[in-house]
Amino acid sequence: MLSSELEQRLPTSLELPDSDGMPVDNEDQNFLPNLLLFLLAYLWDDRDDWYFGVDMGIYHTTGGNPRVPVVPDAFLSVGVERRKGGKSRLSYVTWEENGIVPMLVIEMVSHTPCGEYEEKMEIYTKLGVLYYVIYNPEFWKRDGHLPFEVYKLINGVYRLQIGESFWMPEIGLGLGRCLIPNDRHEREMLTWYDQNNQRHQSAAEVEQHRTAMERLRADEAQLRADEAQLRADRLAQRLRELGEDV
């Protein structure tokens, strides 16, 4: 808990840049986190107690200088305002968020290593981030790691977890990999899963499934009507053959 004197000396979010000014290394570092954000916005549409940041600076007081942020590719905080004061955040400033730090941080390993397994892991440990996910689909052999790793902070130390998708009960979501649905390039993505290891579908997929089911029910109803009409026609034909008026 920060003292009121220290809080008065700390800069406000209006004084701090939203990021470190460094461009992302590749398009996936923006594209894949935004897929997670858009899906979460659909899944948690009725909730206002969370924030998902993409390439945004996290300002904190556990480092040497509170004006120097750590900038993950993505992070999720729970128990904060969805929109800070009804507006978009300029950055994530922990002393303006009642000291709430992100519960989940995601780093995507760059062509040029950026300390995901060393310096950033140490920062997130000090910050107290519960889950740290490192996604490294291209360079995992180079770095001597797995393509997808989930670390959980246990007694102040990150422990590599087993299983994919990986369920995070404190968040109520699982995280794992899959191919982007209906993607002609067959690209891999990170996405949210439920407790039964079932991938959460997007709004478009749910609507597509609903439309397909409605079409199937309509086709089945038409098939039943056609079969009933065919039986009636056959009965009428049989009666005519027997000399009965129809």
Q: Which of 15-19, 38-42, 52-56, 86-90 has the lowest mean pLDDT?
A: 15-19
Contact (CB, 8 A) for 101 and 60: yes
Residue finishing a domain among 169, 184, 200: 200
Spatial distance between the Cα atoms of 127 and 101, rounded to a whole number of angstroms: 7
Spatial distance between the Cα atoms of 152 and 235, rounded to a whole number of angstroms: 71
Spatial distance between the Cα atoms of 37 and 241, rounded to a whole number of angstroms: 69
User: Domain check: are 112 and 234 in the same one?
Assistant: no
DSSP code per residue over 126-180: HHT-SEEEEE-TTTHHHHTS-SEEEEEEETTEEEE---SSEEETTTTEEEEEEEP
Spatial distance between the Cα atoms of 37 and 191, rounded to a whole number of angstroms: 10
User: Domain check: are 208 and 184 in the same one?
Assistant: no
Spatial distance between the Cα atoms of 36 and 192, rounded to a whole number of angstroms: 7
Spatial distance between the Cα atoms of 93 and 97, rounded to a whole number of angstroms: 6
Number of other residues whose CB lies within 10 A of the CB of residue 217: 10
User: Domain check: are 42 and 128 in the same one?
Assistant: yes
Predicted model pTM: 0.79
User: Domain check: are 19 and 82 in the same one?
Assistant: yes
Q: Percent of the chain having pLDDT more than 90?
A: 60
Domain tally for the chain? Answer: 2
User: Domain check: are 164 and 212 in the same one?
Assistant: no
pLDDT value at 19 more than 60 = no
Domain that holds residue 196: 4-200
- Amino acid 197 reads N
Spatial distance between the Cα atoms of 173 and 170, rounded to a whole number of angstroms: 8
Comparing CA positions, the residue from 95, 99, 103 lying closest to residue 153 is 103
pLDDT value at 246 more than 60 = no
User: Domain check: are 58 and 169 in the same one?
Assistant: yes
User: Domain check: are 174 and 226 in the same one?
Assistant: no
User: Domain check: are 166 and 221 in the same one?
Assistant: no
pLDDT in tens, 113-171: 789 999 999 999 999 999 999 999 998 899 999 999 999 999 999 999 999 999 999 99
pLDDT value at 220 more than 70 = no
User: Domain check: are 117 and 235 in the same one?
Assistant: no
Q: Any idea what the CATH number is for the domain that residue 170 is in?
A: 3.90.1570
User: Domain check: are 8 and 65 in the same one?
Assistant: yes
